[in-house]
Amino acid sequence: MRRRNCQNHFGPTTSSYSGCPFSNGSADERTSVSKSKFAVFETFRQTEFVVAARFALAALCMGLFFVCCVSAQSSTVPKPIVVKVVVIAAFERGEDIGDAPGEFQLWVEREHLDQVLELPAGYRHVRMNKDGVLGMVTGVATAKAAASVMAVGLDPRFDLSKAYWIVAGIGGGDPADVSLGSAVWADHVIDGDLAFEIDARQIPEGWPTGYVPLRKETPYELPVRTDLEGEVYTLNAGLVGWAFQLTHDVVLADSDALRKSRARFVGFPNAMRPPFVTRGDTMSASTFWHGSKMDEWANEWTKYYTGGKGNYMVAAMEDSGTLQALTFLSRAGRVDLQRVLVLRTVSNYDREPPGTEPAESLKSMVFGNYSAYLPALEAAEIVGDRVVRDIVEHWSERVEAIPRVW
């Protein structure tokens, strides 16, 4: 193999080390080269250290900047408002104050819910007072109720973890159990929408109704499914018992107009009584149904889904939506489902008076001309507010221990 001549490139081969890679060179020359290489390496190493140090310093500065930003941001975010009680109304006819009232107005005026807080994701703004009472309007029917309650429940402005929820609204009462202007604390909320239905004019002979439970073939078919989908909500019996005991002696207003209206229900002893406070169950459906046949269905539907323990007394249009939202919020740790109460007061009867036609009875209510509209609004606020005041005034106890009477 021919040896490469370095002379043309690096000088004569007989000279001292010329840089030719094929020259062995002297020991001094090799030492000099080693020192040069070490110097280059050391310079590179020092440069690398400086770069790394600068990078670490930059990262540290960025970290400190991030921490400072987060700290500054955290210091400007207000703490959530601790809510003690949420009062839920379904509708308001006009303004919150000063005109013909809906379910909300008496609460706003008497509980001094003066602070207005916008709720873009809900039906209407909410209001609060200095005692930690929050009032809201859901809108009519189950869908609006569920959406509005969820909007409040997920709002980061509010700490609802220990809040008590009180539905305070009006409804149609069963004359077998209640009189006009009476108030009912609910043990169960029954959903009247979740069902199969056949028009009553086409049902098989022997069927008492065209309503059939989901996943069943005939009305009231047993056994009741165990995997229910919101057909019934059972409230905290101890809390309901406490609310009833606290309010059962509240005197509710009576009048000649009420006496005249209830006198039409001959044969219904409870319907003939002056207004009173009691305990029973509510039926919730977005359909405003009316008539004695529907009343029979509501009673049987309630018995079916409560194993015979329940007693339907009042029909309403929002409660199952409200309870569904609260159930989901409870799973998320936002609310305590054991702190929920439903109070319904009787603005009208849910059926026609004996000897009359359901269509004629319904016609009289088409525009909200209920026999006991104002007395029912009064009863909801008077009875409900006794519970609200007790919770607020004994908050140091109620915040941790839920009151119970069995």
Judged by DSSP in three states, 128 sits in strand
Average confidence (pLDDT) per 10 residues, the chain, 406 residues: 41 40 46 47 50 53 50 68 98 94 98 98 98 98 98 98 98 98 98 96 96 97 95 98 98 96 96 98 96 98 98 97 98 98 98 96 88 97 98 98 95
Tokens of residue 187, six digits: 């043990």
Of 282, 287, 288, the residue nearest 310 (C-alpha):
282
Distance CA 334, CA 328 (A): 9
Could you tell me if 128 and 134 are in contact, meaning their C-beta atoms sit under 8 angstroms apart? Answer: yes
Name, in order, each residue with C-beta under 8 angstroms of 218's C-beta and a sequence gap of 6 or more: 207, 212
Q: List beta partners, residue 277.
A: 183
pLDDT for position 55? 52
Task: Tell me what pLDDT residue 18 has.
Answer: 41
pTM equals 0.81
What is residue 333's predicted lDDT score, i.e. its pLDDT? 97
Helix (H, G, I), strand (E, B) or coil at 184: strand
Neighbours of 114 (CB within 10 A): 12
End-to-end CA distance of the chain: 110
pLDDT at position 63 is: 55
